[in-house]
Amino acid sequence: MQLSNPPGRPTLADTLRQRRQRLAERVQFPVALWSGRSASRNFPANVHPFRASSHFLYFAGLPIANAAVRLEAGRLELFMDAATAADRLWHGEATGRDQVAAAIGAAAAYPLSHLADRLDGAATIPVMETATRQQQAAWLKRELPAAKALQAIDQQLASAIVELRLIHDELAIAEMRRAAAVTVKAHRAGMQATLGTTTEAEIRAAMEAVITAHNMSTAYSSIVTVQGEVLHNNAYDHAIQPGDLLLADVGAETESGWASDVTRSWPATGRFSPTQRDIYDLVLAAHDACIQAAQPGIEYRDLHLTAAQVLAAGLVDLDILRGTVEQLVEQDAHALFFPHGIGHLLGLDVHDMEDLGDLAGYAAGRSRSERFGLGYLRLDRPLQAGMVVTIEPGFYQVPALLHDPERRRQYQDQVNWERLAQFADLRGIRIEDDVLITPTGAEILTQDLPTAADQIEALVSGD
Ligand code: GLY
Ligand code: MN
Ligand code: MN
């Protein structure tokens, strides 16, 4: 566990003090947040990797298992047990409670069980992991429904936390820059490993090796696939054939939980076919147009519609779609090929704060659209300086959409199916970067990873 502060960065204790001060300005009741613990596999000591709850991490800063913090009026109390003799035997000497307390600026520190008597009138956010959620409910002496249906006091807390976590402070941005830098290296390694490899698994291994070597983990299950049309494809067993396109959506997460989320698509041979390149350049045009337009005050939904318009216009130029751009987007014809949203919030989690449903993603009074082309939009707010969002347009040929008889009927006049058949050598392309909204525009945190087709080809082929 990293307790020292790298030079030139705000200290952890100072940052945490500011975060809880800002929370105290928003809620007048005590707050208890649990970190959670590892779930066991087949015997208690064989556990899945531990990942602390992000709400805990935001205020406690360090990934401590089976711990909690109590926050009230800007004061932090830490609750965690000292290591037992058995813990020390099997896991070695752990950082002690007092050391952790000093690093995070706790006013007091106690064994975990002491928290049970300090919960009168306290709000919490339920953790995802079941055993800890049961402890939360038992000690708070009330039901804890899933975080999407919170009780009133917890709902107020969640809204306050969303306000804080939407706008990242200096330490958070520094951490996301670290995650982004390692992710960029991982993608370069994946591209450079491609010519010598025959399976998706080998490319995944080359990418995750970089992340592991930096003592980071993946922020989500990596997608490394020749079947890019399967949006969340977590199989890695396909052989790579000449002519395939690889789609790799891989992101590192720092030790303290800050995420990155990057996708690149590249040709297995190091050369795009003409049809692959046409569509790649079109997806890149949508990506660039969105980032160009991103700045405070701009509606994220409008960025999504910008991507839809660029894609629709390009598909008309390629004679795949027919009609006016305005009508095609209104009819959601673009969504046949771009069925997801343009991106999401990024922070301590990929899809940051989606454990709270749409509370973070959707501004008050807004809710998901029923439209095919808008329903998967995960963020519908005006952008503000300090937000980090992904921009990730794509083009996919999803059989479940394109072979659906009803959709084919619906879009029979808008899609030139014969022309589309000439693009059969590409299944899925996505280009995804992490973008910090600045006071005057946007900064791409992952800009050191090229996007231009020529540069991608050069990285893969080693030219
Ligand atoms: N890596 C998941 C996503 O891009 O949303
Ligand atoms: Mn993403
Ligand atoms: Mn992604």
The string of DSSP letters for 269-333 reads: TS---HHHHHHHHHHHHHHHHHHHH--TT-BHHHHHHHHHHHHHHHHHHTTSB-S-HHHHHHTTG
Q: What is the pLDDT along the chain (463 residues), one digit of tens a residue?
A: 767 677 677 899 999 999 999 999 999 999 999 999 999 899 988 989 999 999 999 999 999 999 999 999 999 999 999 999 988 998 898 899 999 999 999 999 999 999 999 999 999 999 999 999 999 999 999 999 876 678 899 999 999 999 999 999 999 999 999 999 999 999 999 999 999 899 999 999 999 999 999 999 999 999 999 999 999 888 999 999 999 999 999 999 999 999 999 999 999 999 999 999 999 999 999 999 999 999 999 999 999 999 999 999 999 999 999 999 999 999 999 999 999 999 999 999 999 999 999 999 999 999 999 999 999 999 999 999 999 999 999 999 999 999 999 999 999 999 999 999 999 999 999 999 999 999 999 999 999 999 999 999 999 999 8
Q: Where are the beta strands (DSSP E) in 82-128?
A: 108-110
The first and second tokens of residue 179, run together, are 């995650």
Q: Which residues of 166-204 are buried (b: 16+ CB within 10 A; e: fewer)?
A: bebbebbbbbbbbbbbbbbbbbbbbbebbeebeebebbb
The first and second tokens of residue 444, run together, are 């791409």
The first and second tokens of residue 306, run together, are 């910008």
Which residues are CB-neighbours of 412 under 8 A, at least 6 positions away? none
CB atoms within 10 A of CB 359: 18
Q: Report how far residue 328's alpha carbon sits from residue 330's, in angstroms, rounded to the nearest whole number.
A: 5
- What residue spans in the chain does CATH classification 3.90.230.10 cover? 170-461
**Ligand 1: residues within 6 Å at CB?**
220, 249, 261, 344, 350, 392, 432
Taking the centre of ligand 3 as the mean of its atom positions, its distance from the CA of residue 445, in whole angstroms, is 14
- Point out the ligand nearest to the CA of residue 220: 1
Index of the ligand 1 atom closest to the CA of residue 343 = 5
Closest CA to 261 of 397, 396, 445, 438: 445
Taking the centre of ligand 2 as the mean of its atom positions, its distance from the CA of residue 200, in whole angstroms, is 20
Taking the centre of ligand 1 as the mean of its atom positions, its distance from the CA of residue 69, in whole angstroms, is 30
pLDDT for the residue numbered 150: 84
- Point out the ligand nearest to the CA of residue 354: 1
Bridge partner residues of 435 (DSSP): 389, 444
pLDDT for the residue numbered 151: 82
List, as own/partner pairs, every contact residues 285-293 make where C-beta atoms lie below 8 angstroms and the sequence separation is at least 24, other chains included. Answer: 285/310, 285/314, 286/310, 286/311, 286/314, 286/393, 287/391, 287/392, 287/393, 287/431, 287/433, 287/451, 288/451, 290/342, 290/391, 290/393, 291/391, 291/433, 291/435, 291/442, 291/444
Index of the ligand 1 atom closest to the CA of residue 249 = 1
Residue nearest to atom 3 of ligand 1 (CA): 261
Taking the centre of ligand 3 as the mean of its atom positions, its distance from the CA of residue 219, in whole angstroms, is 10
- Point out the ligand nearest to the CA of residue 346: 2
- Point out the ligand nearest to the CA of residue 263: 3
Taking the centre of ligand 2 as the mean of its atom positions, its distance from the CA of residue 350, in whole angstroms, is 7
User: Which among 261, 338, 388 is the best mutation to test ligand 1's pocket, defined by most ligand atoms within 8 Å of the CB?
Assistant: 261
User: Which among 253, 263, 376 is the best mutation to test ligand 1's pocket, defined by most ligand atoms within 8 Å of the CB?
Assistant: 263
Taking the centre of ligand 3 as the mean of its atom positions, its distance from the CA of residue 39, in whole angstroms, is 25
Backbone angles phi, psi at 326, to 5 degrees: -60, -45
Closest CA to 61 of 111, 128, 106: 106
The first and second tokens of residue 48, run together, are 């899945």
Index of the ligand 1 atom closest to the CA of residue 219 = 1
Taking the centre of ligand 1 as the mean of its atom positions, its distance from the CA of residue 341, in whole angstroms, is 10
- Point out the ligand nearest to the CA of residue 391: 2
Taking the centre of ligand 2 as the mean of its atom positions, its distance from the CA of residue 13, in whole angstroms, is 30
Q: Report how far residue 56's alpha carbon sits from residue 34's, in angstroms, rounded to the nearest whole number.
A: 6
pLDDT for the residue numbered 10: 83
CB atoms within 10 A of CB 398: 16
Index of the ligand 1 atom closest to the CA of residue 232 = 2
Index of the ligand 1 atom closest to the CA of residue 344 = 5
Taking the centre of ligand 3 as the mean of its atom positions, its distance from the CA of residue 264, in whole angstroms, is 9
User: Which among 344, 345, 396, 433 is the best mutation to test ligand 1's pocket, defined by most ligand atoms within 8 Å of the CB?
Assistant: 344
Taking the centre of ligand 1 as the mean of its atom positions, its distance from the CA of residue 222, in whole angstroms, is 9
Residue nearest to atom 4 of ligand 1 (CA): 261
170-461 homologous superfamily: Creatinase/methionine aminopeptidase superfamily (3.90.230.10)
- Point out the ligand nearest to the CA of residue 390: 2
Taking the centre of ligand 3 as the mean of its atom positions, its distance from the CA of residue 128, in whole angstroms, is 21
Index of the ligand 1 atom closest to the CA of residue 220 = 1
- Output the average pLDDT for the chain: 96
Q: Class of 12-166 per CATH?
A: alpha beta
- What residue spans in the chain does CATH classification 3.40.350.10 cover? 12-166
Angle at 363 between CA 334 and CA 434, to 5 degrees: 60
Give burial (CB, 10 Å; 0-12/13-18/19+) of 149: exposed
